[in-house]
Structures are given as C-alpha cells and as structure tokens.
C-alpha cells in the first residue's frame, strides 16, 4: 500500500512538469553527458600551478554564492537563473572532496589546514608549518627547527635554484606586521597600529634585498600606484594595502584597494615572464571573516569576487600547461534551510511555509542560518528587519563571541595537467601531493622522465618554478602561539 501511494505521488509530480520544461532538462543533461564523454585527460607536466583557497568556503557557501550570483545578474536585467547559474570554477572538468580534520581535532583551524594543503601532512590544531609532534603554544619545540615542514612553495623555488628569500610577488593587507611600532603608517599617519618591536623594518629589508641582487622592484601601498606597476619592467612586487585586513569586496569601493582579480592578474603577468613557470597561491580570506561574524552577504560577495579572479587566471594562462586548483581550507557552521520557492531571495525569509512545516512558535526564519556566532539567537520580527542589508547578521542557534568552523568535507575543483587525479574523496594533505607530482617538485619525481610527459623546459629536471608567490587577500594572522 505504501509503495502504491508513493507511485501515485510520483506520477502526479511528473504530470505537473510541462513538455517544454521536460525537454529543457533532458537536453541540458544530454549536452552535459556528451561533454563528459568527450573529456580527455591532460597528462602533461604542469609548468605553472595556481592554488585558490576560499577560506571557509564550504559546500553550503558555494551553493548560496551561486544562487546569489544568479540573482545579482537578474537584478541587472540579465537573463540568469538563480539555481542553474554556475560559478566559473564549478565548470572545471574534475571535482573531488577533501576531509579537513586536524591530526588532533575533528574540526580544523586555518593555519593547520593551510599546512596540510601546502606541505602534504596533517598537523595539530592551532599550529602552522610544523609537524604533528608540536602542540598548540608549544613554542620551545617549534623553535628547535627540527619540526619544520617544507612547503610546495619552497620546493618549487628550490627547483629553480633561487634563494628562499626571494618571493616574486606578495600582495595583500597586514602592513602593521611589516612596520616598526615607532614608524608612521603612510595611510593612517598613526604609529599606534604597527606591531613590530624587534627593530626590523621588513619593507626596507625587502627593498634592500632586491637592490642587492640587482633586480627591478616596486613597493606600493595604494591602488593608484599598484595600477601604475608595469609587469614588463618589474621583477619583484610587494603591495601592502591596509594596516590590517583588506576590506570586504562589497565594502571596497573602486578606488580604495585593488580587487582580488586585479592582484591575480598582475601577479600572473609578472610571474609569467619566467620561462620555467611559477607557483601562485591566491587566498580569498575574508569569506572566513564574514562567516565568523555571521555576515552572510559579505561572505557570498567575497566568494564571487574570488571566482572572478579564477576567471582571470583562466583567461591569461593556458589550460594545457597550467594546473588550477580551487578549494577551501574548511567549512563553516552555515546552512541553507527550509523549502523556499525558486527565485526567492537567498538572503530573504522562507516564503513557503505551510502549517506542517512552520516553526512551533508560528514565526518565520531566513533561508540562510548559522549554527552559532555573535548574531541574535532569539526569534525576530522580520517585518522590521531588512535581511538583505549588508550589515544584517543571520540568526544563530547558539550565541558565541564568534561563529566556528564546520567539519564537513569541502570540494576540490581542478583543471589543467593531471587535474583528473582529483577524482574522489581525499585527505586534505592529498592536494599538496597532486600539485607537487603534476609540477615535478618535491620527492616524487621519477615519472618526470617518462615518455608520456613532455620534456621539461630548458632541459631542467623540473617544469616548475624559479619564481613563486605568497598571495594574501587578508594578512594571515593565525600563527603558532597566537590566541584564536
């Protein structure tokens, strides 16, 4: 009897679908199938590797950002479907999942997660750049140096026989950590924000180093000077655009700071001058910050900003020689809930709420909610609240000083040489191993001389890289022995 009842329901549901809609879904799926059948593996060695890390960009964040992007286009008069719209990196041919847990905790922190992605091993919560023998705040063990781990950044540079000191491009915020505490910040005219008490002006040291090795260089701290930088006559670029974190993209303004797309393009232009290739890491860090404060709109907007940077990277590199990986270091306690109608504002209140689906107290709720955080955790009268405002904080279940990370798996999107190696469920440290294998750096290089791979550039043992970059959209502030 139950089986018969479900059969009736399914038949009724099918009858509600119009012929045109049915054909549309069939045709789209057939086209997607045809594209999948024609997909060919790229087994070349990767001359270049670009890793995009959406900090805190879990699956629910990607889904909500996709819908938000579609609705943004719709408000601008363009014909985009808020559900069928895709982010640029969602169009990559290969997708896998990574398990983000720490060596000692079910849910990771950013520093330890970044170490897994960049160095190939899982480590303990609250540590960075050291192995799992070091616990959080264990500074004495860390200072020995024996526990340090190598990253793909250093290994890529080693293949090019360059100093570990010479990063090609460094762009982002965090100027206060480069200047002495008695120096005046050029933007704020204040000395109160600077943090260095060790007598070192790292900006001047950077300039002196580049002058000593006889290379052209530029240091910039405002957008107008950044825009003036020409890749053709710049070997090294340092840009620090804020004493602390750079602005959320939705708050940025067109003239105050360069966008993540601007910085990505400039970095690639400078690094591409090297015939051996490059390694580039691009972080969309403020996705994470917005989630911690329950600012969903800011988080989604920063996902789209990073996705635009991915498109820039796709446009200015060749897929045949450049491995692009887009992933996250962890997720957040962030959910898409209810059964809102197609087209209902992703930032709005659930619009379909029959009696058997309504909250017990008869109230309403937003589609986007957080499990915890600093926002209001009591019921709200949404007739008096604009849930689409950039400063609106979505309701939480548990009030806390800040929202926590989430522990579910996050996606890995890849295209380019050997991107098909991201094909299932992996450990987070697996990402490093694929990037290193694809670009012939690190220990696993036996395959690099096999006929299936094209010869390495300039008759070297490696296709990657003499020029590398660390690229922060916000200064990476989570360090060993720091509080969180």
* Residue 261 tokens, joined: 């797309």
Strand, coil or helix: 21: helix
Active site residue 272: no
> Please, which residues have CB within 8 angstroms of residue 301's CB and are 6 or more apart in sequence?
68, 248, 249, 250
- In the 8-state DSSP scheme, what is residue 279? E
Name the CA dihedral angle for 180, 186, 192, 193, rounded to a multiple of 10 degrees: -80
72 alpha-carbon distance from chain centroid: 21
Decide: residue 158, CB within 10 A, 0-12 exposed, 13-18 middle, 19+ buried: middle
| Residue indicated by tokens 């290089």 | 445
The catalytic position among 60, 110, 112, 261 is 110
Q: How far apart are CA 475 and CA 176, in angstroms?
A: 10
Q: How far apart are CA 290 and CA 305, in angstroms?
A: 14
H or E element at residue 141: helix 139-143
Q: How far apart are CA 186 and CA 189, in angstroms?
A: 6
Neighbours of 195 (CB within 10 A): 15
Could you list the active site residues? 110
């Amino acid at each position: 009897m139950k089986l018969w009842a479900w059969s009736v329901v399914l038949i009724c549901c099918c009858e509600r679908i119009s012929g045109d809609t049915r054909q549309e879904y069939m045709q789209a799926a057939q086209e997607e199938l045809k594209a999948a059948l024609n997909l060919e593996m790229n087994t070349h060695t990767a001359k270049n590797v670009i890793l995009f890390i959406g900090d805190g960009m879990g699956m629910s964040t990607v889904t909500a950002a996709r819908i938000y992007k579609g609705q943004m286009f719709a408000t601008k008069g363009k014909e985009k479907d808020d559900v069928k719209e895709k982010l640029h990196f969602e169009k990559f041919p290969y997708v896998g999942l990574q398990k983000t847990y720490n060596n000692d905790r079910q849910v990771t922190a950013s520093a330890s997660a970044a170490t897994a992605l960049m160095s190939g091993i899982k480590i303990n919560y609250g540590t960075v750049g050291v192995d799992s023998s070091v616990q959080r705040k264990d500074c004495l063990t860390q200072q020995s140096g024996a526990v340090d781990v190598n990253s793909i950044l250093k290994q890529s540079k080693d293949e090019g026989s360059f100093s570990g000191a010479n990063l090609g491009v460094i762009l982002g915020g965090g100027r206060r950590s480069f200047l002495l505490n008695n120096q005046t910040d050029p933007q704020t005219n204040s000395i109160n924000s600077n943090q260095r008490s060790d007598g070192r002006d790292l900006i001047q040291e950077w300039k002196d180093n580049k002058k000593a090795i006889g290379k052209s260089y530029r240091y910039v701290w405002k957008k107008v000077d950044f825009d003036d930088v020409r890749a053709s006559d710049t070997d090294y670029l340092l840009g620090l655009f804020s004493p602390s974190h750079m602005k959320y993209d939705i708050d940025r303004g067109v003239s105050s700071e360069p966008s993540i797309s601007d910085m990505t393009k400039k970095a690639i232009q400078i690094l591409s001058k090297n015939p051996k290739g490059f390694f580039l890491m691009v972080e969309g860090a403020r996705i994470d910050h917005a989630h911690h404060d329950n600012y969903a709109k800011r988080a989604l907007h920063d996902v789209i900003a990073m996705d635009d940077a991915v498109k820039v990277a796709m446009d200015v590199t060749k897929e045949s020689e450049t491995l692009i990986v887009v992933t996250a270091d962890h997720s957040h306690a962030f959910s898409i809930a209810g059964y809102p109608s197609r087209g209902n504002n992703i930032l709005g209140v659930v619009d379909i709420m029959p009696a058997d689906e309504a909250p017990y107290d008869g109230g309403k709720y937003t589609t986007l909610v957080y499990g915890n955080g600093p926002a209001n955790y009591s019921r709200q009268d949404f007739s008096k609240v604009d849930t689409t405002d950039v400063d609106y904080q979505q309701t939480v279940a548990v009030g806390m000083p800040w929202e926590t990370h989430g522990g579910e798996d996050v996606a890995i999107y890849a295209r380019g040489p050997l991107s098909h190696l991201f094909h299932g469920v992996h450990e987070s440290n697996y990402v490093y191993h694929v990037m290193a294998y694809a670009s012939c750096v690190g220990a696993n290089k036996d395959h690099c001389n096999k006929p299936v791979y094209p010869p390495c550039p300039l008759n070297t043992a490696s296709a990657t890289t003499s020029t590398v970059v660390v690229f922060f959209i916000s200064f990476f502030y989570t360090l060993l022995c720091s509080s969180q």
